[in-house]
Amino acid sequence: MSPTDHEQEPGAREETDVVVIGGGPVGENVAQYAVEGGLSAVLVEGELLGGECSYWACVPSKALLRPVTLVGAGSDLHGMTSGRLEQDALLERRDTWVSGYDDAEQVEWAQGAGITLVRGHGRLVGEREVQVERGGGSRRLTARRAVVIASGSEPLVPETFRDALPWGSHDATGLKEVPGTLLVVGGGVVACEAATWLAALGARVTMLVRGSALLGGQEAFVGELVAGALRDQGVEVRLGTEASSCRRKDARDTGVGRVHGGPVVLETGDGELSADELLVATGRRPLLHDVGLEAVGLSRDDVTHGRLPDWLHAIGDASGGPPLTHWGKYQARLLGSRLAAEAADRPVEPVPDDVPVPQVVFTDPQVASVGMTEAEAQEAGHDVVTSEVPFDAATGGALLRDHVSGRAKLVVDRGSGRVLGATFVGPEAGELLHAATVAIVGKLPVHLLRHAVPSFPTASELWLRLLEDLPVELRLP
């Protein structure tokens, strides 16, 4: 089979070991690991190879946020003249990072990795059978060993807002026109990150958050610190606020990242709010409505509850698990290697069942967390002991800005002395996280961690402060 060929004799079937539906980072990784293990793999992609992450999510958002963060740092370091954002150059930087929305480099990578790319929309049409449609043509693929659904996720937009054609994350990351005023519905990760770069680019942003905190589910200080920082950046954060209705005259599809018509008016308990644009960031769900589940007698719930036949797998956002690129890619590495090992009758690598999920939110300050919060650890039945220190408790943390706002917390199991979870909020906090992930996966007790000496003066010395803040008896084996 040639890499992007879409022609096939009528009625013909092509066989391969693994068929992957969806060529995002997760689909790419499972195909790569299967091929490296000696299998053949076809990757079916309907849009751009590289998926949401590369063109509309992680990569463009972080390309926009990095200069925003550095300008913030520059204006809080005595001895440095503050930097300034240049909108056109910033959008050019984003365009460079998304390769001008062209996937030629990814296609080249796939070819080099020995993966066959088939462009088009893939659907299951029977056991191990996938039909790919593109334009008027179609192609039938048979998987000797497995079909993997890696179709990603789609935004959930509440009915109230749909007729207004509000912005979604594609518009926020694919930004072309900065609205003068912007309402953001949602207080999760997308809302907080997008509010950060849009406010920095001059939009007057108001966030409407129905809950009592931003970034719910994290340690309580996370939402407080991020809300405080957003307010300092000029964002109005309204907690406990819901929109009961939404109207917009002249709602029009003007294209991604452009203002979609006239002003948007939202009715809330506190009265009416009006703005040039509305960004709805109210969560995502697995994209499963058009992958042919019904053809093999399965439902969305079967996928998200893992009730799949042994030839069918779902990973990444499509699985309903944590919708994070690194988590999906981890699942993909495991599955690709497992499929190859099973095919070759090699032993399958054992996998720990309690691998923690890390996440970094790239607001300013950043939020980095892994494992359990204190509340989650208690709920799981642990006898919990915690330590908590301000981010500037270590010289290396304090040196990062003139006014450092942030906090760090460790959640430890009292009996075993092992770290169960960690949260860091502060400048560049994401870079502190991997040490915590290693400590949890390695089941390292506090008395051993004390011998991991952080360099002076790095922010990693926060680890010393956190360990010193724990009960003294945990320091001894």
Ligand X SMILES: Cc1cc2nc3c(=O)[nH]c(=O)nc-3n(C[C@H](O)[C@H](O)[C@H](O)COP(=O)(O)OP(=O)(O)OC[C@H]3O[C@@H](n4cnc5c(N)ncnc54)[C@H](O)[C@@H]3O)c2cc1C
Q: Which residues bind ligand NAD (CB under 6 A)?
A: 158, 185-191, 193, 209-211, 216, 242, 281-284, 323-324, 359-362
Which residue type, as a one-letter code, is found at position 389? Answer: V
Of the residues 51, 72, 257, 427, which one makes contact with ligand X according to CB under 6 A: 51
Q: Say if CB 440 and CB 356 are below 8 A apart.
A: yes
Q: Does 342 sit near ligand X (CB under 6 A)?
A: no
Question: If DSSP codes are grouped into helix, strand and coil, which group holds residue 376?
Answer: helix
Residue list 294-323, contact with ligand X (CB under 6 A): 316-318, 323
Q: Is 271 annotated as a binding residue?
A: no
Among 203, 257, 256, 262, residue whose Cα is nearest residue 233:
203
- Give the start-end residues of each E strand in 135-257: 137-149, 153-155, 181-185, 204-209, 236-239, 243-248
Q: How far is the CB of 162 from ligand NAD (least distance, A)?
A: 12
Among 254, 282, 263, 261, residue whose Cα is nearest residue 194:
282
Q: Which does 121 bind (CB under 5 to 8 A by kind): ligand NAD, ligand X, none?
A: ligand X
Closest CB to ligand X among residues 14, 47? 47
Closest CB to ligand NAD among residues 74, 430? 430
Q: Does 44 sit near ligand X (CB under 6 A)?
A: yes
Residue nearest to ligand NAD (CB): 188
Q: Does 358 sit near ligand X (CB under 6 A)?
A: no
Q: Which two tokens stand for residue 341?
A: 């090992």
Helix 325-343 × helix 25-36 angle, to 10°: 30
Q: Say if CB 73 and CB 66 are below 8 A apart.
A: no
Q: Does 106 sit near ligand X (CB under 6 A)?
A: no
Closest CB to ligand X among residues 291, 449? 291
Q: Does 19 sit near ligand X (CB under 6 A)?
A: no
Q: How far is the CB of 227 from ligand NAD (least distance, A)?
A: 12
Q: Does 190 sit near ligand X (CB under 6 A)?
A: yes
Q: CA–CA separation, 376 vs 87, rounded Å?
A: 42
Q: Which does 396 bind (CB under 5 to 8 A by kind): ligand NAD, ligand X, none?
A: none
Closest CB to ligand X among residues 153, 460? 153
Among 352, 351, 353, 368, residue whose Cα is nearest residue 421:
368
Of the residues 20, 143, 324, 335, which one makes contact with ligand X according to CB under 6 A: 324
Burial (CB < 10 A; 0-12, 13-18, 19+), residue 130, is buried
Tell me the number of residues near ligand X by CB under 6 A: 38
Q: Which does 26 bind (CB under 5 to 8 A by kind): ligand NAD, ligand X, none?
A: ligand X
Tell me the window of 19-27, 367-375, 379-387, 460-468 that interacts with ligand X (CB under 6 A): 19-27
Question: If DSSP codes are grouped into helix, strand and coil, which group holds residue 364?
Answer: coil
Q: Say if CB 15 and CB 1 are below 8 A apart.
A: no
Q: Is 132 annotated as a binding residue?
A: no
Q: CA–CA separation, 144 vs 133, rounded Å?
A: 20
Q: Is 23 annotated as a binding residue?
A: no
Closest CB to ligand X among residues 25, 417? 25
Cα distances (angstroms) measured from residue 281 to each of 265, 335, 442: 17, 31, 36
Per-residue interface string for the shown chain with ligand X, residues 272-291, x marking contact by CB under 6 A: ---------------x--xx
Q: Which does 302 bind (CB under 5 to 8 A by kind): ligand NAD, ligand X, none?
A: none
Cα distances (angstroms) measured from residue 51 to each of 55, 351, 364: 7, 27, 26
Q: Which does 328 bind (CB under 5 to 8 A by kind): ligand NAD, ligand X, none?
A: ligand X
Q: How far is the CB of 325 from ligand NAD (least distance, A)?
A: 8
Q: CA–CA separation, 277 vs 210, rounded Å?
A: 19
Q: Is 277 annotated as a binding residue?
A: no
User: 83-105 in b/e burial notation, b at 16+ Cβ within 10 A?
Assistant: eebeeeebbeebeebbbeeebee
Q: How far is the CB of 331 from ligand X (least distance, A)?
A: 9
**Numbered residues of the known binding site:** 62, 122, 186-193, 283, 317
**Numbered residues of the known binding site for FAD:** 62, 122, 317
**Which positions lie near ligand X, rule CB under 6 A?**
21-27, 44-47, 51-53, 57-58, 61-62, 121-122, 150-153, 169, 173, 190, 287, 290-291, 316-318, 323-326, 328
